[in-house]
Amino acid sequence: MLRIDQEKCTACGICEGSCAFGAIAVQGEYAVVNEQCRLCGSCVENCPSGALSLDKVESHPQEDLSAYHGIMVFAECRHGILAPVTHELLGIGRKLADQRGAGLAVVVLGEGLDRYAPALIASGADTVLLVQHKALAQFQEDIYARLLARIIRERKPEVVLAGATAIGCSVVPYVATLLGTGLTADCTGLSIREEDGLLLQTRPAFGGNIMATIECPNTRPQMATVRPKVMTPAEPDPSRKGEVLQIVPTDDEVQSAATVLESVQSAGDQVNIQEVEALVAGGRGLGSEKGFALLRELADELNASVAASRAAVDAGWIPYPHQVGQTGKTVCPKLYVACGISGAVQHTVGMQSSKVVVAINRDPEAPIFNVASYGLVGDLYEIIPELTRQLREAKQ
* Tens-digit pLDDT profile for residues 102-160: 999 999 999 989 999 999 999 999 999 999 999 888 898 999 999 999 999 999 999 99
Say if residue 205 is in the same domain as residue 303: no
Kindly tell me if the per-residue pLDDT of 378 is higher than 80: yes
**83 is a domain residue:** yes
Say if residue 30 is in the same domain as residue 74: no
Kindly tell me if the per-residue pLDDT of 58 is higher than 60: no
CA 48 to chain centre: 40
Kindly tell me if the per-residue pLDDT of 384 is higher than 50: yes
What does the pLDDT read at residue 99? 95
342 is in an annotated binding site: yes
What does the pLDDT read at residue 275? 82
**259 is a domain residue:** no
327 is in an annotated binding site: yes
Bond before 221 cis per omega within 30 degrees: yes
6 is in an annotated binding site: no
What does the pLDDT read at residue 269? 45
Say if residue 150 is in the same domain as residue 204: yes
246 is in an annotated binding site: no
**303 is a domain residue:** yes
Say if residue 7 is in the same domain as residue 91: no
What does the pLDDT read at residue 63? 63
Say if residue 221 is in the same domain as residue 96: yes
Say if residue 31 is in the same domain as residue 167: no
340 is in an annotated binding site: yes
Say if residue 289 is in the same domain as residue 377: yes
Say if residue 78 is in the same domain as residue 19: no
**C-beta atoms surrounding 308 within 10 Å:** 32
Selected residue with higher pLDDT from 39 and 251: 251
Domain, as residue range, for 48: 2-54
53 is in an annotated binding site: no
What does the alpha-carbon distance between residue 284 and residue 292 come to, in Å, rounded to a whole number?
11
Say if residue 247 is in the same domain as residue 283: no
Return the CATH number at 296: 3.40.50.1220
Kindly tell me if the per-residue pLDDT of 301 is higher than 70: yes
326 is in an annotated binding site: yes
pLDDT tens, position by position, 40-51: 778 888 899 899
284 is in an annotated binding site: yes
What does the pLDDT read at residue 212? 87
239 is in an annotated binding site: no
pLDDT tens, position by position, 66-104: 899 999 999 998 878 899 899 999 999 999 999 999 999
Kindly tell me if the per-residue pLDDT of 217 is higher than 50: yes
**88 is a domain residue:** yes
What does the pLDDT read at residue 268? 47
What proportion of the chain, given as a percentage, has pLDDT over 90? Answer: 60
What does the alpha-carbon distance between residue 282 and residue 71 come to, in Å, rounded to a whole number?
40
Q: What's the pTM value of the predicted model, to 2 decimals? A: 0.69
Say if residue 163 is in the same domain as residue 303: no
242 is in an annotated binding site: no
The backbone torsions φ and ψ at residue 100, rounded to the nearest 5 degrees and listed phi first, read: -90, -5
**200 is a domain residue:** yes
CB hemisphere CA count around 393 (13 angstroms) = 6
Return the CATH number at 6: 3.30.70.20
**217 is a domain residue:** yes
What does the alpha-carbon distance between residue 218 and residue 267 come to, in Å, rounded to a whole number?
44
Asked if residue 217 lies in contact with residue 59, where contact means CB atoms within 8 angstroms, the answer is: no
133 is in an annotated binding site: no
What does the alpha-carbon distance between residue 266 and residue 276 come to, in Å, rounded to a whole number?
19
Element holding 211 (H helix, E strand): strand 210-214
Report the Cα–Cα distance between both ends of the chain, in Å, rounded: 64
Domain total of the chain:
3
Positive or negative torsion for Cα 36, 42, 44, 47: negative
Return the CATH number at 77: 3.40.50.620
Selected residue with higher pLDDT from 17 and 292: 292
The backbone torsions φ and ψ at residue 210, rounded to the nearest 5 degrees and listed phi first, read: -140, 160
Average pLDDT along the chain: 90
What does the pLDDT read at residue 353? 85
What does the pLDDT read at residue 206? 64
User: What single letter denotes the amino acid at residue 252?
Assistant: D
345 is in an annotated binding site: yes
**261 is a domain residue:** no
353 is in an annotated binding site: no
**153 is a domain residue:** yes
